[in-house]
Amino acid sequence: MSGLAGSFFKELSDTMQLTMVTSFLVTWLLLPVLHLMIGYKTSFKPNAHHTMSDSVNRLRWLTWFFNKPIIAMMLVVGLISSAYWASDKLETGFLPELDEGTIVLDYISPAGTSLEETDAICKEIEKIVEIHPDVESYSRRTGIHMAFKSDPTNIGDYSIQLKKDRTKTTDEVISELRKEIEGKVAAMEEISFGQRIADLLGDLMSTPQPIQIKILVIIMKY
C-alpha cells in the first residue's frame, strides 16, 4: 500500500512480524526449559540447601493441571469460548475513538450556488455555532478543504474548537449541532461532522496521487 495508508500499515506489519518472532522464540526456548523444571521437581526433594527447588515449587499449580487433563481441557475450551464471544464485542477501525475537542463540519450547498449565496447560508450555520455554550472559536473555509484541495464555491468546511472545561463529549456536541443545523438550515444540501485527525487523514488518503510523466531519451549513433 502506498501513500498515507501504507505508512500506517507498515508500522502494523512490523509489529506483527516482531510479535511472531518473539512468540516463536518463547515457544522454542522457554517452554522446554519450563517443562524440564517441572519434571525435575518430581525427583528432587526441596530442602534448605537447594534454592532452585523453592522456585520450582511455585510452579506446583502447573503440575496439578498436568495430572488432571480433563480440567485443563475444560479451561482451554472456556478460554476459546470467551475469546470467540468477545471477538464481536470489540470495536474496530483504522483509528481509535478520540475526544479531540475539535470538530470539522463539512458542508455542500446546492450545485451551482454562487459564492454570495453560499456565504449567506453559512452565516445561518454560524449563528447556531456561536450560541452553543461549549464552542470556544471557529473558522470557515469555502472552496477549499483541510487537505488544501481546491473545491467549487459551494463546498467548504468549518473548524470548530471546543472549550476545555466543557461538560459534554465531542460526540455529544456534534449530535446537538447536527440536530440544530439540519432543523434550521434546510437550504444546505449536505453536512457531515467529524474530528480533526480523522477528517484530515480521510482527505489525504482520498486525494489522488499526482501524475508522473517520465520521458526517456534514446540517442542512437550510426
**pLDDT tens-digit map of 23-76:** 998 888 887 777 777 655 544 444 544 455 555 565 667 677 777 888 888 988
Going from N- to C-terminal start, the domains of the chain cover 3-87, 102-206
Q: Which of 101, 124, 121 is nearest to 113 (CA)?
A: 121
Q: What band does 20 get if pLDDT is binned at 50, 70 and 90?
A: very high
**pLDDT tens-digit map of 72-126:** 889 889 999 998 888 887 766 656 667 778 888 888 888 888 888 888 889 999 9
The whole-number pLDDT of residue 19 equals 92
The whole-number pLDDT of residue 56 equals 54
**pLDDT tens-digit map of 148-204:** 567 788 888 888 989 888 888 888 999 999 999 988 888 888 888 888 776 666 655
**Grid cell at residue 63:** 503440575
DSSP 82: H
Residues whose CB falls within 8 Å of the CB of residue 140, separated by 6 or more in sequence, listed in order: 122, 126, 156, 157, 158, 159
Is CATH 1.10.287.3510 what the domain over 102-206 is classified as, yes or no? no
The whole-number pLDDT of residue 58 equals 59
| Comparison of pLDDT for 147 and 127, the residue scoring more | 127
The whole-number pLDDT of residue 43 equals 46
